[in-house]
Amino acid sequence: MGSTSEAKNTGEGTNRRDLIKRSAALGLIAVPSMGFLSACATGGGGDDDNKSDKPKGKTSATNPLGVEKGAPLEAFIFKGGLGDQYAKDAEADYTKAWGGAVKHTGTQQVGPKLTPRFSGGNPPDIIDNSGADHLDMNRLSSQGQLQDLKALMEAASLDDKSKTIKDTIHPSTYEKGLHGDVLDVLYYAFTIYGTWYSKKALEKGGWEYPKSLDDMVKLSAEIKKTGVAPWTYPGKYPYYVHFNLFAQIAKIGGMENWIKIDNLEPNAWTSNDAVKQVVEHYEELARKGYFLKGSQGLTHIQSQTAWNKGKAVFIPNGSWVENESAPTTPKDFQMAVGALFDGGSGDKMPQGTLRAEPSEPYVVASKGKNPAGGMEMLRIMLSKKHAQNFATKVKSLTCVVDATEGMTLSPGLSSASSVFKAAGTNLISLQLQEWYPDLTDAKIGGLTGDLLTGDLSAADWIKKTQAYADKVAKDDAIKKFKRDK
């Protein structure tokens, strides 16, 4: 989600129903409401029928969450672009520390498999709720199905007993996991979104990564002359383009104006000049033929493979791409990611601004048999040992601050880390795709797909996007969320 969350790790095609079921980036991340799933995914929400069956370990300095020794734990982990070995490694440490056997399920169908279990009141304890078929966390939260993680945030870090878990994670991780005043989602990964490219390809062409939208158009013209496509994208999942497009709007128009979009305010799309500038930029790229032919029919795996084979120079993606595309990435590819492009002198945010935000959402089921164990599992994962293991295994950052200091990083992760540090506080975190995925991925995603094939004008994209947003805002059946910053 959010962001992050990745889509299904498969090269097979999909239909519109599949697209509607997608999560959010992610992952990230970026760091991501499915009506047909949520309608039956969270039946109940009343009294906790399993309360008497839950472990009742005594809390102490060494057991701040009250984990009962020997109590079994069930983990349901999304097995997509990040795999699930990193989770298995943490589970092994959980068993070593507490003696409880861990039942592990790695899957790409979190929602379909867990929908009946939440409805039946027997969900697993800890869930990596990511991928195309994820559960609706907003509805789960509103029905009391998600464990309040306050105790986890106040627990001591395994690395430094003088620090709480909240002290060790990026502040945006805490903010993004809130539903109202309750933190009930832990976004474990930290995804760098942007324009990904091969340093070798740029060097070979004698090109430099462009700093502005205009520079990108000029460079695309030069690249096309060589017979290589400037861009490709997964047309089966056109919301990938939003990783850049949405963030570019926020960079140029400012977060104050983007927050109006997140909050579904009237005319938030149509009255924002940055929207017009950015969408017209993509319209121009399409009109001038700067996208790889056939991209509209590609999955994320297929577009990444084409990119790795040198058929295109740029691709919109998240930092999970290095691990996900590893099977087809040449050893000398030198994968890298660039910051957002400048729009002009009126930009609200400076050169180097980056979309970087928590992704890969973990939740603990409040009605599971061992919620204390689920939170303890997260505490183990938030140790520096496992944050570094995650970076090594999947070539991505976690929400643990400075966990990769001193490590030798892979090319893509090294680049992501560098642009993240260079951005400083100029970071963009978006919520629209997390709060209303059907709006962004199915509805607006469909418009974006038509925009990139030249079948829809920028003006119509903006008009129809505003109409879709207004429809969601007026739909009382959809829970709304607000942000101030």
Residue 13 clears pLDDT 50, i.e. is over it = no
Backbone φ/ψ region at 185: left (φ over 0), alpha (ψ -120 to 50), beta: beta
Is residue 80 scored above 70 in pLDDT?
yes
pLDDT in tens, 172-217: 899 889 888 899 999 999 999 999 999 999 999 999 999 999 999 9
State residue 451's pLDDT score.
98
Predicted local distance difference test score (pLDDT) of residue 54: 66
Q: Residues 271, 466: contact at Cβ < 8 Å?
A: no
Domains 16-191+357-429 and 194-355 share a fold: yes
Answer yes or no: is pLDDT of 15 > 80. Answer: no
Position 12 confidence tier, pLDDT thresholds 50, 70, 90: very low
Which pLDDT score is estimated for 53? Answer: 53
What residue segments make up the domains of the chain, in order of their start? 16-191+357-429, 194-355
pLDDT in tens, 16-61: 333 333 333 322 223 333 332 222 333 334 444 434 456 678 999 9
Mean pLDDT, to the nearest integer, of 239-261?
97
User: Read out DSSP for 444-483?
Assistant: IHHHHHHHHTTSS-HHHHHHHHHHHHHHHHH-TTSPP---
Amino acid at 184: D
- pLDDT, one tens digit per residue, over 95-124 is 999 999 999 999 999 999 999 999 999 999
Other Cβ atoms less than 10 A from the Cβ of 482: the count is 12
Q: What is the mean pLDDT of residues 116-140?
A: 92
Q: Of 4, 76, 117, whose CA–CA distance to 394 is shortest?
A: 4
Q: What is the pLDDT of residues 338-384, one digit of tens each?
A: 999 999 999 999 999 999 999 999 999 999 999 999 999 999 999 99
Average pLDDT, the chain: 89
3-state secondary structure of 314: strand
Question: 194-355 domain in CATH 3.50.50.60?
Answer: no
In 187-299, which ranges are continuous DSSP H helix?
199-205, 213-225, 242-253, 255-262, 273-287
SS3 label, residue 358: strand
Say which residues have a Cβ less than 8 Å from residue 124's Cβ, sequence separation at least 6: 74, 75, 76, 103, 105, 114, 117, 365, 368
Taking the alpha carbons at both ends of the chain, their separation in whole angstroms is: 20
Share of the chain above pLDDT 90, in %: 80
| Topology of domain 16-191+357-429, CATH | D-Maltodextrin-Binding Protein; domain 2 (3.40.190)
pLDDT tens column, 160-175: 999 999 999 999 899 8
pLDDT at position 44: 38
Amino acid at 283: E
d(CA 175, CA 170): 9
CB count, 10 Å around CB of 237?
A: 24
pLDDT at 11: 35
**What's the pLDDT at 133?**
84
Q: Write down the pLDDT at residue 55.
A: 62
Q: What is the mean pLDDT of residues 464-471?
A: 98
Distance CA 1, CA 234 (A): 17
